[in-house]
Structure 1
Amino acid sequence: MKSVFRKILLLFITVCTLFVVLKWDLIRYGWQQARGQIAIMYNAEPLAHFLENPSYPDSLKAKIKLVEKVKTFANAELGFSSESQYEKMFDQKGKELMWVVTAALPYSLESYKWNFPVLGEVSYKGFFIEKEAIKLAQQLTKKGYDVRVRTASAWSTLGWLNDPLLSNVLNLSNGRLAELILHELTHDEIFIKDSIEFNENLASFFGQEFTKKFFKKQLERYASELYDYLLHLEDRHTLNKFVRNYLPRFDSLYQKIEGLSTIEKENQKFYLIEKFKQDLRNQKFKNPKYTDFIKSEIDVNNAFLLSYKRYSGHQELLERKLQTQFDGDIGKMLDFYQKNYDSL
């Protein structure tokens, strides 16, 4: 009997050791992410701590109160289980907390994907440690991928945990802040395995529509915020549409240069990217921030281009669905997706 037990124990230890060896990178990454999230959650303070602090700026207190109103709206008007979300805030003291790495094939608009338990295939990888994000980006660059590293202002645990607010988001305009909260709360309600592009497009679309509905619900109070937000959306849609309309040109080029040498591929890709930048600078925007953005030295590559497809590639389709399938009723559209898609 002891001999059988020892054999079973030895087999169990062997399997566990093999799993750790084969999945070490995933285990190490998961531990880093868990430590980062736990540290933020542990050090987050109740919103009342900031609201009752006489030295905390009134302008930021107003933003916190806006978040509370958005949460109440999401619960009462949309049926979201948002009561326990964003009850605390972590003070970033102006520092960045999260970095996101995305990558793509160099001559194809195809994202590099990571595979995670439960979530499935994911086309971005987040970090709470900047040097780890840069390390991964350098590794992928050496392998020949187009890589992009950006900061992130929020994340969602898909309703599994009570997410804290991050203080840097209070620097956003009222419209962008409301949209961010509603975008992340949508992830809590609808998030489909192996469907990052679907999830992000749907959350972006619902986030925008719910924000407009929120401001219209209290129009007397938020008339100017609604006006500013609609102008912001107009500029964003102009930028998104410009990039989306350029994607087929990149697809066509990559098919055309498939049999050429790497040097010739790089040359032709470079010329199209320069043309992209030139045409982008000729776009007209109402918000100076967009004008400043397109005049800056943007690092355009396939990872950059695919970020627009990931978050806005299906916006026109979703708008058509809203009008034709749901008669313009965003509540009906939300109900449809909640009932017909199995969410994590």
Structure 2
Amino acid sequence: MIKKIGLSILIVLVVLGIWQRDLVSYGWMQGKGQLRILWNTQPIGTLLSDPAYPDSLKQKIQLIQEIKRFTVDSLGLDKSGSYETFYDQHGKPILWVVTASQPYALVAKTWTFPLLGTFSYKGFFEKDRADTLVAQLKRDTLDTRTGEVSAWSTLGFLNDPILSSMLDRPVGDLAELIIHELTHGTLFVKDNLEYNENLADFVGEYGALRFLAMKYGKTSVPYRDYLARKDFYGRYDEHVLRGARLLDSLYKTFKPQTPIPVKDSLKWQTIDQIVTSADTLTDERTGKQARLVKKRPAGKLSRPNNAYFIGYLTYRKQQNRFRQEFENQFGSDFNRYLTYLKKTYPSL
């Protein structure tokens, strides 16, 4: 009887493996990537006690521990075992994320994963696998974008390490990043990626400002530098979101009989207009100008496409909603607001 049960389970697993071979292959690849990183981490205590390790980086590691304590004690986020170990990237990217969109509509390509739900991106620890997917999506006439990721969250299922690239960030950026990722481990709603990322962005920025004010004071250089960065990128975000709305309005005028060359011409004229007008955005502190056109390694210029705008809609579209809800309904009481969110939106 036991043998029959075991054989039945084996047959079911084989059938599932054949039926969902792409998903199984992807899961295996992701699992290997995570395990490779976790296997090659070292406890932060080892680095902090190493006299040869630079003091400036030790200070950043200790700062991350302060930020973690702040998220629990002051923001009410869940305790986490993350960021107690360190992984050295040796200056190399660690993860690539692929997004895709319909060519004449701001509609994202989505992928569904067991337990976690639906996502509008797919991550890869192996660049060639990301490139293979991009080639396939392009054959399907989709707009694509591949981005390097500076951090990610396993939503509390694993203890995420500090990545060496994190230590290059200014204090405010580092605080925002850590708080963003720890927010995912506290509240992550299935099948609602836009909500999750917008919430984590909102909490990351709000929490970073509170942390900087507590540690350094509101007149300090770290606090003022972070405010200046927020102002610049806030204006940049608004510009890109306005561009997304402009594109969306254009695409809604297209008819099924509209020739492809006409659609392409109007699409790229509009995107070029969005790109050109971004040059008027300047960081008053550094004089840096916004640039939507990026240089590829080969030196060629890469214009943003629909996949680029989809990324902004995913991460930034609902910022005002959270801010207004937080201020108007909860009187800027973050602990009350977080309690409300936890009760209202069931998390994984």
Q: TM-score, normalised by structure 2?
A: 0.92
Displacement of 1:12 in angstroms is 4.7
**Residues 192 and 342 in structure 1, CA contact (< 8 A), matched pair in contact too:** yes
Letter in 2 for 1:335: T
Partner SS for 2:289: helix
Matched, 1:215 2:219: no
Partner SS for 2:60: helix
Displacement of 1:11 in angstroms is 5.5
Aligned to 1:262: 260
Displacement of 1:126 in angstroms is 0.6
**Counterpart Cα distance in 1 of 2:93 and 2:278:** 28
Partner SS for 2:304: coil
Larger CA deviation: 217-226 vs 42-51: 217-226
Deviation string, structure 1 residues 260-311 (Cα, Å, up to 9, x no partner):
1111111111111111111111223235485264464453111100111111
Within the candidate set 313, 332, 346, 1:342 is matched to 346
Letter in 1 for 2:261: I
Aligned to 1:284: 282
**Residues 204 and 311 in structure 1, CA contact (< 8 A), matched pair in contact too:** yes
Aligned to 1:116: 113
**Residues 280 and 290 in structure 2, CA contact (< 8 A), matched pair in contact too:** no
Give 1:35-114 correspondences, 5 Å limit: 35-114=32-111
**Counterpart Cα distance in 2 of 1:75 and 1:157:** 18
Taking structure 1 as reference, are residues 145 and 288 closer, same or farther at Cα in structure 2, changes over 3 Å only?
Answer: farther
**Residues 103 and 145 in structure 1, CA contact (< 8 A), matched pair in contact too:** yes
- The answer for unaligned runs of 5 or more in structure 2 is 295-300
**Residues 158 and 187 in structure 1, CA contact (< 8 A), matched pair in contact too:** yes
**Counterpart Cα distance in 2 of 1:17 and 1:289:** 59
Deviation string, structure 1 residues 311-336 (Cα, Å, up to 9, x no partner):
11011111111111111222221121
**Counterpart Cα distance in 2 of 1:153 and 1:146:** 23
Give 1:254-333 correspondences, 5 Å limit: 254-259=251-256, 260-286=258-284, 288=286, 291=289, 293-294=291-292, 296=294, 297-333=301-337
Over aligned residues, Cα RMSD in angstroms?
2.0
Partner SS for 1:74: helix
Letter in 1 for 2:79: S
**Residues 155 and 184 in structure 1, CA contact (< 8 A), matched pair in contact too:** yes
**Counterpart Cα distance in 1 of 2:172 and 2:147:** 22
Displacement of 1:10 in angstroms is 6.5
**Counterpart Cα distance in 1 of 2:190 and 2:114:** 10
**Residues 105 and 112 in structure 1, CA contact (< 8 A), matched pair in contact too:** yes
**Counterpart Cα distance in 2 of 1:287 and 1:198:** 32
Matched, 1:167 2:164: yes
**Residues 293 and 303 in structure 2, CA contact (< 8 A), matched pair in contact too:** no
Letter in 2 for 1:241: E
**Counterpart Cα distance in 1 of 2:273 and 2:264:** 14
Larger CA deviation: 192-201 vs 155-164: 155-164
**Residues 281 and 295 in structure 1, CA contact (< 8 A), matched pair in contact too:** no
- The answer for unaligned runs of 5 or more in structure 1 is none
Letter in 2 for 1:138: A
Q: TM-score, normalised by structure 1?
A: 0.94
**Residues 156 and 187 in structure 1, CA contact (< 8 A), matched pair in contact too:** yes
Q: State percent identity of aligned pairs.
A: 36
Aligned to 2:248: 251
Letter in 1 for 2:316: S
The total of aligned residue pairs comes to: 341
Larger CA deviation: 198-207 vs 250-259: 250-259
